[in-house]
Chains A and B, each alone.
Chain A
Amino acid sequence: MKHAITLRIGPATFRIGSAWRQPIADLARLYAAYPDMGGAIADFTVRLQPTSLARRWVRPSIFITGDHGLADAAPMSLAHGLLAAEMGMNLQMALGWRRHLLLHASSVEKDGRVLVMTGESGSGKSTLAALLGERGWRFMGDEFALLDMDSGAILPFPRLVSLKNRAIEVVTQAVGDARMGPLLAATAKGDIRHMVPRTDAVARMGDGGMPALLLFPRFGHDAAVRPLGQGEIFMRLTQASTNYVALGEAAFTALTRFVAHVPARAIDFPTGDDAIAMVDRLWEELA
């Protein structure tokens, strides 16, 4: 394709091609601190292509696809090209990655041990991981936590952090404008702005750690902590995994071990500061 870049995030290498210059230029700027993978063999190919011949020039519209794609993927405006590229990479991981059990979760590490946070979009797991990453934790990822099925370790996938709506201002205040991408206004999920992880998160993106605590955060409620039964945790994690079925028995065994060994809590919180205080306290008590 006319414009292309090859990126490595954690264990996965992506070759991203685009019919337009801008999305690739955005990626090159925001992923500048990541390893230079030009000329590497990629695990996945991502394509940002026009939805039709005319849509390359007139009201440009991006169809996100690649090695793995969804025929009915919603077209995106070129103004949201960076988001399209990120979604393209996520799509390849979600549909094609087989070397680890993929959990739709954020994760951070301290003293070699990992805190995993899972929840739906809007639960606050990305924001929480981004904020903890600025307060003494190592940021490991805001979208996918990779569970190694042999060792039981969690491996990082530290792509750009995708922040939505109110979280944008909170995190921009914490990290400064220099580490933030362009504001993508009025996407299907509201306003989105990407944050570049700290250099230590990128430099150590090959280093995993054993999981020590699992949280199910929920933003926008009064502060509360609830225990969950192992059966419920197991079911929620299978729903949070895109390749659990494809990996078969190995995934069942690994997830069973994870649920049996990692303490878990559901936490509700009204603000980011409340959440961080709750995380610190639970980490002291349980991890």
Chain B
Amino acid sequence: MSAVLLVRTLRDPASVGVLDADGWNRLLAAARAERLIGTLAYRLEGVALPDAVRPILGDARRDSGREAQQALWEADRAAQALRGLDVKLVLLKGAAYVAADLRAGQGRFIGDLDILVPRDAMPAVEAALIVAGWEWVKEDPYDDAYYRQWMHELPPMIHVDRDRMIDVHHTILPLTARQTPDATAMIADAVHIIDGLYILSVEDRIVHSVAHMLADGDMQGGLRNLWDIYCLLPDADPAALAARATRHGVAAHVRQARRLAGAVYGAGARLTLWDRLVRARLLARDGWGRESRKLLVFAFFVRSHWLRMPPLMLARHLLTKWRKGHRPQ
């Protein structure tokens, strides 16, 4: 498993000293597939590297620098669009880490702009974004209705000129999920960083990242999520974090994330059987960048749907998507 090689390198950058060309090829392919190549490039700064590797990591650093710049610009444009509304605009994930200059943001891949706004402000936010040039992507009325009725975010929108996507969240988990985090408290305690932009508090940042990774989704990109969590954890007081996690209903998830981060990127941790299964899923990546352990990966895909909605609703959703020609990868 080349994902093992990747996490070993992130944990102990000097360990690349023993790699031969095949080892480097496997490491780079796994890092690209997990979208951790920029993070890897930062971790390997100052380490002696083969001549062929240096320009590859230089390119990765340059790409992540550009993504950070673009993310900040998109955040600025969103703040501009919402300026008249008296709405607290909270940046989430990559853009937040970069805006606050957190370690989790170093070299991080950033795709869409994710923002959190109060639920009752959603119609005004949506209207203001449309005026400022963002447009709907999902043409399908079922998908659109599904998002609006059950999800924790608006259907994704793309800016007409800049071709960049924005995800507008009003909470951090789908409304159909079993846990119901207190989004109002998250927004109330958000930290002001600059010019109309906020980020979540130290504890809520971790809660959000953990909820996204362990209480939602199929763990695609999980190694990167776990790296975020590993980088965010030292900023939080453990007792305050535990209390906050309990309030949001994800205390067990945060404890599990702490164990996994310690086991995968840190000094080690005692893992439960379930932790070991999650770790096996996270490390399912071979030396050509392909997903391996297909059955386990599929099981987590099924689980992600199970987490998101009750069985009957899930059955109806899957039937509708099947009829529309959607098949799991």
List B residues 279-319 near A (Cβ within 8 Å).
288-290
Of the residues B24, B32, B33, B59, contact of A41 by C-beta under 8 Å: B24
CB closest chain-A residue, reference B37: A67
Q: Give the most central of A17, A40, A41: most B CB within 10 Å.
A: A41
In the complex, what residues of A have CB within 8 A of residue B268's CB?
none
A32 within 8 Å of B (CB atoms): no
Q: A41-B24, A41-B25 are in contact. Are A47 and B63 (CB under 8 A)?
A: no
Q: B288 near A43 (CB under 8 angstroms)?
A: no
Produce 1/0 per residue, A89-123, CB < 8 A to B.
00000001011000000000000000000000000
B66 within 8 Å of A (CB atoms): yes
Q: B59 near A66 (CB under 8 angstroms)?
A: no
Q: A246 near B63 (CB under 8 angstroms)?
A: yes
In the complex, what residues of A have CB within 8 A of residue B288's CB?
1, 17, 45, 47
Of B49-57, B124-132, B168-176, B201-209, which stretch is located at the interface?
Answer: B49-57
Q: B56 near A43 (CB under 8 angstroms)?
A: yes
Q: A98-B62, A99-B55, A246-B66 are in contact. Are A67 and B29 (CB under 8 A)?
A: yes
Q: A47-B289, A98-B59, A99-B59 are in contact. Are A13 and B52 (CB under 8 A)?
A: yes
Q: A41 near B52 (CB under 8 angstroms)?
A: yes
Q: B50 near A41 (CB under 8 angstroms)?
A: yes
B235 within 8 Å of A (CB atoms): no
B237 within 8 Å of A (CB atoms): no
In the complex, what residues of B have CB within 8 A of residue A13's CB?
52
CA distance A45 to B30 in the complex (A): 10
Q: B50 near A47 (CB under 8 angstroms)?
A: no
In the complex, what residues of B have CB within 8 A of residue A248's CB?
66
In the complex, what residues of B have CB within 8 A of residue A43's CB?
52, 55-56
Q: B52 near A45 (CB under 8 angstroms)?
A: no
B22 within 8 Å of A (CB atoms): yes
List A residues 44-59 near B (Cβ within 8 Å).
45, 47, 49
Of the residues B21, B63, B290, contact of A98 by C-beta under 8 Å: B63
Interface residues on A, range: 20 to 34
Q: B25 near A15 (CB under 8 angstroms)?
A: yes
Produce 1/0 per residue, B42-69, CB < 8 A to A.
0000000010110110010011001000
In the complex, what residues of A have CB within 8 A of residue B56's CB?
41, 43
In the complex, what residues of A have CB within 8 A of residue B28's CB?
41-42, 45, 67
Q: Number of B residues contacting the other chain (C-beta, 8 Å)?
A: 20
In the complex, what residues of B have CB within 8 A of residue A47's CB?
288-290
CA distance A98 to B37 in the complex (A): 14
A231 within 8 Å of B (CB atoms): no
Q: How close is B56's CB to chain A, nearest CB, in angstroms?
A: 6
Q: B29 near A49 (CB under 8 angstroms)?
A: no
CA distance A253 to B157 in the complex (A): 32
Q: B289 near A66 (CB under 8 angstroms)?
A: yes
Produce 1/0 per residue, B11-36, CB < 8 A to A.
00000000001101100110011000
Q: A49-B290, A67-B289, A98-B59 are in contact. Are A41 and B29 (CB under 8 A)?
A: no
In the complex, what residues of A have CB within 8 A of residue B62's CB?
98
A190 within 8 Å of B (CB atoms): no
A136 within 8 Å of B (CB atoms): no
List A residues 12-28 near B (Cβ within 8 Å).
13, 15, 17
CB closest chain-B residue, reference A15: B25
CA distance A45 to B32 in the complex (A): 10
CB closest chain-B residue, reference A71: B329
In the complex, what residues of B have CB within 8 A of residue A67's CB?
28-29, 32-33, 289
In the complex, what residues of A have CB within 8 A of residue B63's CB?
98, 246
Q: A40 near B21 (CB under 8 angstroms)?
A: yes
Q: A41 near B289 (CB under 8 angstroms)?
A: no
Of the residues A39, A45, A66, A99, contact of B21 by C-beta under 8 Å: A39
Produce 1/0 per residue, B172-214, CB < 8 A to A.
0000000000000000000000000000000000000000000
CA distance A41 to B28 in the complex (A): 9
Q: A246-B63, A248-B66 are in contact. Are A41 and B21 (CB under 8 A)?
A: yes
CB closest chain-A residue, reference B51: A41
CB closest chain-B residue, reference A96: B59
CA distance A13 to B66 in the complex (A): 24
Q: A39 near B22 (CB under 8 angstroms)?
A: yes
Q: How close is B2's CB to chain A, nearest CB, in angstroms?
A: 11
Q: A40 near B59 (CB under 8 angstroms)?
A: no
Q: How close is A168's CB to chain B, nearest CB, in angstroms?
A: 33
CB closest chain-A residue, reference B33: A67
In the complex, what residues of B have CB within 8 A of residue A40's CB?
21, 52
Q: How close is B224's CB to chain A, nearest CB, in angstroms?
A: 16
Q: A42 near B25 (CB under 8 angstroms)?
A: yes
In the complex, what residues of B have CB within 8 A of residue A99's CB?
55, 59
Q: How close is A258's CB to chain B, nearest CB, in angstroms?
A: 21
CA distance A40 to B52 in the complex (A): 8
In the complex, what residues of B have CB within 8 A of residue A45's CB?
25, 28-29, 32, 288-289
CA distance A47 to B289 in the complex (A): 9
Produce 1/0 per residue, A229-268, CB < 8 A to B.
0000000000000000010100000000000000000000
CA distance A96 to B288 in the complex (A): 16
Q: How close is A91's CB to chain B, nearest CB, in angstroms?
A: 13
Q: Which 5 A-B pairs have the closest CB atoms?
A: A41-B52, A98-B59, A67-B32, A41-B24, A45-B29
Other A-B pairs, 10, CB within 8 Å; known A41-B24, A41-B53, A99-B55: A13-B52, A39-B21, A39-B22, A41-B52, A43-B52, A43-B55, A67-B33, A98-B59, A98-B62, A246-B63
